[in-house]
């Protein structure tokens, strides 16, 4: 699938695609592990930084953001950053300092959902000679990737948001494999220039919307003994079904997430199938599970991990620009598996609410809806619908405005509803189900 990146350039900040840095150029100094942030949760896995060959994994909050900062400040010729949300004064100052000393710094920021959050960084960087562009207006750029000197890429589950660092579980894989870095640079060049591209997969890259859905389902479906999972969302029926099927065929499936009633129907289905679920409260000072990682058959010859920016949602796997990496690198698998095991040990076992059904259709037709503002100036909304009503017409209505779209085979629909003012109550009908939301 191709993404159309009709990007808006910052005035006076155009930049053309760069020629690759020669193989003889010295690489940036390898980042070293920094001290963990003060006040990190006591149960944070302490094996925070593991390195193996051309891949190295950082576990947050234990590793600290220092290694990422040092890659930025160590740049010799170029820095490319694609970021869903950027609100880190230190990182922004480092990017600006790079530009001031002649490094070609290019940044793509999401505007589809996070334009308001990213505007301050956009303005700050643009004023200091950084080449900043908004990502395509019609696509959520949830990717979080840094590339330095066209030689080192960091594939992250984390946003560069300073207030999140101290108590948020995240991973970053530092990748120096030439095929991977070249694929990431080629995709960045196309996104930055507004060209259509099917992202190259390099050695082991997982891109949304091209191969992410198939990759996630392949890792889950291929597990023979164990599956360890962390994710921020559990909102894709195909993924939920695959995890449940794995448990039913005898795989030990363990899921760690932050508690959210929005995922309760999925949790009920998973628990009924024999999946073990541990949760953390969504409270200040408690470890927040923002990581997106699947580890299959850790410690065995066919072990593998998939880690990156992809959430378990139809939008994330099927529509957004996202990037992850799928690898059997032993040190990377071992490190992430150990973290997931420690987080599982520290979580609270999930207990299904009384009367919870064993699957999404146990209580009859149902739907859930969420909405976000796409373009506030024109009262345009994106309405995301999740239901057990596949191939049925889904209609979103509010304040006399209405728009319909057919749900797909998993009961999902994305409806573009134009007209209702911000905060309007939006009613959704899909097949025999009705639900509501507001932006």
Identify whether 397 is part of a domain. Answer: yes
The CATH number of residue 345's host domain is 3.30.870.10
> What's the mean pLDDT in 128-152?
97
Identify whether 378 is part of a domain. Answer: yes
pLDDT attached to residue 38: 34
Identify whether 8 is part of a domain. Answer: no
Reply yes or no on whether the pLDDT at 381 is more than 90.
Answer: no
- Which residue, 208, 226, 259, sits at the end of a domain? 208
- Based on the fold, state whether residues 197 and 234 are members of the same structural domain: no
pLDDT attached to residue 388: 82
- Based on the fold, state whether residues 156 and 65 are members of the same structural domain: yes
pLDDT attached to residue 312: 96
Residues 438, 309, 404, 422, CA torsion sign: positive
3-state secondary structure of 290: coil
pLDDT attached to residue 158: 98
What is the tens place of the pLDDT at every residue in 246-305? 999 999 999 999 998 889 889 999 999 999 999 999 998 999 999 999 999 999 999 999
- Based on the fold, state whether residues 389 and 243 are members of the same structural domain: no
Cα within 13 Å of Cα(42), Cβ side:
1
- Based on the fold, state whether residues 268 and 412 are members of the same structural domain: no
Q: Could you please report the per-residue DSSP string of 33-77?
A: PPPPPTT--TT--S--EEEETTEEEEEETTS-SHHHHHHHHT-SS
- Based on the fold, state whether residues 332 and 412 are members of the same structural domain: no
Identify whether 160 is part of a domain. Answer: yes
- Based on the fold, state whether residues 72 and 139 are members of the same structural domain: yes
> What's the mean pLDDT in 208-219?
97
What is the tens place of the pLDDT at every residue in 155-210? 999 999 999 999 999 999 999 999 999 999 999 999 999 999 999 999 999 999 99
Reply yes or no on whether the pLDDT at 154 is more than 80.
Answer: yes
Count the domains in the chain: 3
Reply yes or no on whether the pLDDT at 90 is more than 90.
Answer: yes
Q: Residue 141 carries which DSSP code?
A: B
- Which residue, 208, 239, 263, sits at the end of a domain? 208
- Based on the fold, state whether residues 180 and 290 are members of the same structural domain: no
| Full-model pTM | 0.74
Residues 341-378: b if buried by 16+ CB within 10 A, e if exposed: bbbbebbeebebeeebeebbeeeeebbbbbbebbeeee
- Higher pLDDT among residues 128 and 374, named by residue: 128
Identify whether 15 is part of a domain. Answer: no
- Based on the fold, state whether residues 271 and 387 are members of the same structural domain: no
> What's the mean pLDDT in 350-378?
63
Give the domain extent around 397: 367-438
Identify whether 255 is part of a domain. Answer: yes
Reply yes or no on whether the pLDDT at 8 is more than 50.
Answer: no
Sequence-separated (6 or more) residues with CB below 8 Å from residue 314: 235, 236, 384, 386, 408, 410, 412, 414
- Based on the fold, state whether residues 124 and 99 are members of the same structural domain: yes
> What's the mean pLDDT in 361-388?
72
DSSP β-bridge partners for residue 434? 429
The pair of three-digit structure tokens given for residue 174, joined into one six-digit string:
């530092």
In the structure, what pLDDT confidence band is assigned to residue 408 with cuts at 50, 70 and 90?
confident
- Based on the fold, state whether residues 201 and 245 are members of the same structural domain: no
> What's the mean pLDDT in 42-50?
37
- Which residue, 159, 187, 208, sits at the end of a domain? 208
Q: Which of 323, 420, 317 shows the shortest CA–CA distance to 374?
A: 420
pLDDT attached to residue 14: 40
Identify whether 20 is part of a domain. Answer: no
């Amino acid at each position: 699938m191709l993404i159309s990146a009709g990007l808006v350039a910052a005035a006076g900040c155009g930049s053309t695609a760069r020629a690759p840095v020669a193989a003889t150029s010295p690489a940036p100094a390898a980042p070293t592990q920094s001290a963990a942030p003060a006040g990190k949760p006591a149960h944070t896995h302490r094996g925070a930084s593991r390195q193996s060959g051309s891949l190295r994994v950082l576990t947050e909050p234990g590793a600290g953001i220092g290694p990422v900062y040092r890659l930025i400040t160590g740049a010799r010729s170029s820095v490319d950053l694609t970021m869903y949300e950027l609100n880190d004064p230190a990182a922004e100052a480092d990017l600006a300092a790079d530009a001031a000393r002649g490094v070609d710094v290019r940044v793509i920021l999401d505007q589809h959902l996070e334009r308001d959050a990213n505007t301050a960084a956009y303005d700050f960087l643009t004023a200091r000679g950084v080449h900043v562009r908004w990502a395509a207006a019609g696509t959520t750029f949830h990717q979080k990737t840094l590339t330095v000197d066209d030689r080192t890429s960091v594939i992250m589950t984390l946003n560069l948001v300073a207030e999140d660092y101290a108590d948020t579980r995240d991973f970053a894989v530092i990748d120096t494999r030439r095929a991977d870095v070249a694929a990431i640079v080629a995709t960045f060049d196309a996104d930055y220039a507004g060209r259509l591209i099917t992202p190259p997969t390099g050695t082991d890259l997982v891109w949304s919307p091209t191969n992410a859905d198939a990759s996630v389902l392949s890792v889950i479906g291929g597990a023979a003994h164990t599956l360890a999972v962390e994710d921020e969302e559990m909102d894709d029926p195909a993924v939920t079904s695959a995890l449940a099927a794995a448990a039913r065929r005898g795989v030990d499936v363990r899921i760690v997430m932050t508690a959210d009633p929005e995922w309760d129907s999925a949790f009920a289905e998973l628990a009924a199938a024999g999946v073990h679920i541990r949760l953390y409260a969504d409270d200040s000072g408690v470890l927040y599970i923002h990581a997106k990682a699947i580890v299959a058959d850790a410690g065995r010859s066919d072990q593998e991990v998939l880690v990156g920016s992809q959430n378990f949602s139809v939008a994330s796997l099927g529509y957004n620009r996202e990037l992850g990496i799928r690898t059997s690198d032993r040190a990377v698998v071992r490190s992430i598996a150990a973290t997931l095991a420690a987080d599982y040990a520290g979580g609270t076992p999930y207990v299904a609410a009384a009367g919870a059904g064993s699957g999404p259709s146990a209580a009859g037709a149902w739907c859930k809806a969420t909405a976000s503002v796409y373009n506030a100036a024109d009262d345009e909304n994106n309405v995301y619908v999740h239901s057990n009503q596949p191939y049925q017409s889904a209609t979103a209505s509010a304040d006399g405005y209405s728009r319909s779209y057919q749900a797909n085979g998993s009961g999902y629909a994305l409806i573009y509803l134009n007209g209702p003012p911000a905060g309007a109550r939006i009613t959704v009908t899909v097949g025999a189900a009705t639900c509501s939301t507001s932006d």
